[in-house]
Structure 1
Amino acid sequence: MRVLVGGGTGFVGTALVRLLKARGHRVTLASRTPGPDRITWDQLAETGLPRCDAAVNLAGENILNPLRRWNEAFQKEVLSSRLETTRLLASTISKAPEPPKTWILVTGVAYYQPSLTSEYDEDSPGGDFDFFSNLVTKWEAAAKLPGDSTRQVVVRSGVVLGRGGGAIGHMLLPFRLGLGGPMGSGRQFFPWIHINDLVGILAHALEARHVQGVLNGVAPAPATTNAEFAQALGAALGRPAFIPVPSMVVRAVFGRERAVMLLEGQKVIPRQTLAAGYQYSFPTLEAALKEVVG
């Protein structure tokens, strides 16, 4: 299969490209910089979609980059890096003489409203109560294609855990120093997924032609709270994890809107993902963290 991957040089994209090549697929990257087996976004806009059997978009500025202040300029980058690339790919797919058979977009569980009591699956409503839920709604709308000649899949990802990047990259140092702990109350849910399973779900969605619609990219284990996650990460590192990070500190570092992603959470279950036949490699938090920090 010939697969075009937008945003294939990031943490998740690199892992997906590695897996797809290992499965015998040919991969072309859509990126900002030219190179072998690449097409730039500008070239894509000018010349249209190269011939491919499937397209996947993972492009998007890292929202939780602690080095970037949550100001208007960064908010615009977060929006444009997702919406413009998705619109461009959707547009070139719809105009292609031979459109790809499959089109997959990765968004986020921020679509669902944070709650300490509600449980969400792929059919649950959401999408219109804060900056991030509105972003996911616009993002998924930008990907919609007319007609049904191309199979469309949206994977709403939880927090991605993996070696050498992702959320864990910012957490390890304080936890290794014994300074880790829950954020805010710690009672908020923490929907997570191991990177191998996220790219596994994407590969499954590419290869299994019956898969379509929304899949929740979260682990199938019972819902984890932020405090339980902190305790499990401390245990995996052999360190205590009981020093809470006050809500006011999280808001000061990330800004009030971004802090919502860390201080409030969603209980998300992957009902459609399991029904689609995907079998998880890391269904439990203990196994996932053991692999990540081991």
Structure 2
Amino acid sequence: MRVLVGGGTGFIGTALTQLLKAKGHKVTLVSRQPGPGRITWNELTRSGLPLCDVVINLAGENILNPLRRWNQAFQKEVLNSRLDTTHLLAKAITKATHPPQAWILVTGVAYYQPSLTEEYDEDSPGGDFDFFSNLVTKWEAAARLPGESTRQVVVRSGVVLGRGGGAIGHMLLPFRLGLGGPIGSGHQFFPWIHIGDLAGILTHALEADHVQGVLNGVAPASTTTNAEFAQALGAALGRPAFIPVPSTVVQAVFGRERATMLLEGQKVVPRRTLATGYQYSFPELGAALKDVVA
């Protein structure tokens, strides 16, 4: 298939592109910079959608970039980097003479309200209690297409674990030094997914005609708490992981609103993802982390 990937030059996009090419699909990236196998967002605006079978959007500014202060300017950037690219692709699909067979958007489990007791599947309510849940609601609304000609899929991703980027990139050094540990209370749930499985779910969604609607992009072993995750990462590295990061420190680095993403969590299950027939390569945390730190 001919697959167009928005924001495909990052951590997730690179893994997805490798998998798609390995399976014989032809990939074109939409990015800010021109290059071989790419078109720019400006070209897409000017010339419309190139001929393709599937469109996937991964674009979005990294919310948890510790080098950026959580102020109004950065919040606007976080919002616009997701909504503008999604609007642009959805509009291009709507106007295309030959619309693609499928349109896939990756959002986040921040849609569901943090809780120590609730369990959420793809049909659970959410999306209206803080900046991040509202962001996901607007983001998914921006992707909606009129009519039935293009199959629509939304994958709500958990924390993505993989080599050379993502959440693990910031954690490895303190954990390797034996200074790792749970964040805040450690009781909060930590919905995670191995990058190979996130790329796998996206590939499954574009190849399988029966897949549509919302899928939770989390591992089935999603009852992991933050403290259990810290212990498992320490074990994978052969290091102790008992030094907690106080919530006051997390709030000082990320700002109070953004810190809730780390200090609070959701128990999310991939009920519909499993029901579509997707088979996980890394359903268990221990094996996923061993692969990531190998």
Report what 2:17 is aligned to. 17
Residues 225-253 of structure 1, C-alpha deviations (whole Å, 9 max, x = no match):
00000000001111110100000100000
Measure the CA separation in 2 of the matches of 1:224 and 1:167: 16
Greater CA deviation, 48-57 or 66-75?
A: 66-75
Residue identity in the other structure for 1:41? W
Once the two structures are superposed, residues 59-82 of structure 1 have per-residue CA deviations (whole angstroms, 9 ceiling, x without a partner) of 001111111111111111101110
1:133-172 equivalence runs, <5 A: 133-172=133-172
1:257 is displaced (CA, Å) by 1.1
Q: Please name the residue that 1:39 is paired with.
A: 39
Q: Which residue of 2 aligns with 1:260?
A: 260
SS at match of 1:193: strand
CA distance in 2, matches of 1:154, 1:113: 18
Q: Provide the secondary structure at the position in 1 that maps to 2:142.
A: helix
Aligned residue for 1:115, secondary structure, equals coil
Would you say the 8 A contact 2:31–2:39 is kept in 1?
A: yes
Identity %: 83
- 1:237 and 1:151 map into 2 onto residues whose CA distance is 42
Pairs within 5 Å for 1:1-16: 1-16=1-16
C-alpha distance in 2 between matches for 1:167 and 1:37: 28
Letter in structure 2 aligned against 1:89: L
Cα deviation for residue 52 of structure 1 reads 0.3
Partner of 1:118: 118
- Please tell me the residue identity of whatever aligns with 2:2: R
TM-score norm. by structure 2 comes to 0.99
Q: Which amino acid aligns with 1:9?
A: T
**Does 1:292 find its partner at 2:292?**
yes
Provide the residue aligned with 2:239 in structure 1. Answer: 239
The residue type paired with residue 118 of structure 1 is E
Partner SS state of residue 91, structure 1 = helix
In structure 1, what is the Cα distance between the partners aligned to 2:275 and 2:102? 19
User: Structure 2: any 5+ residue segments left out of the alignment?
Assistant: none
Runs of 4 or more consecutive aligned structure 1 residues displaced over 3 Å after TM superposition: none
Residue of structure 1 in register with 2:276 after alignment: 276
Aligned match of 2:201: 201
1:57-136 equivalences in 2 (<5 Å): 57-136=57-136
Could you say what the CA RMSD is over the residues aligned between the two structures, in angstroms? Answer: 0.5
Aligned residues: 294
Shift of 1:105: 0.0
Of stretches 116-125 and 214-223 in structure 1, the one that deviates more from structure 2 is 214-223
* Counterpart for residue 221 of structure 2: 221
1:30 maps to amino acid: V
Q: For residues 168-188 of structure 1, give each alpha carbon's deviation from its aligned partner in whole angstroms, at most 9, with x where no partner exists.
A: 000000001111000000000
The amino acid that maps onto 2:142 is A
After superposition, the C-alpha distances for 1:31-51 in whole angstroms (9 at most, x for unaligned) are 001111111101101110000
Structure 1 SS opposite 2:50:
coil
In structure 1, stretches of 5+ residues that fail to align are none
Deviation at 1:222, TM superposition (A): 4.7
SS at match of 1:80: helix
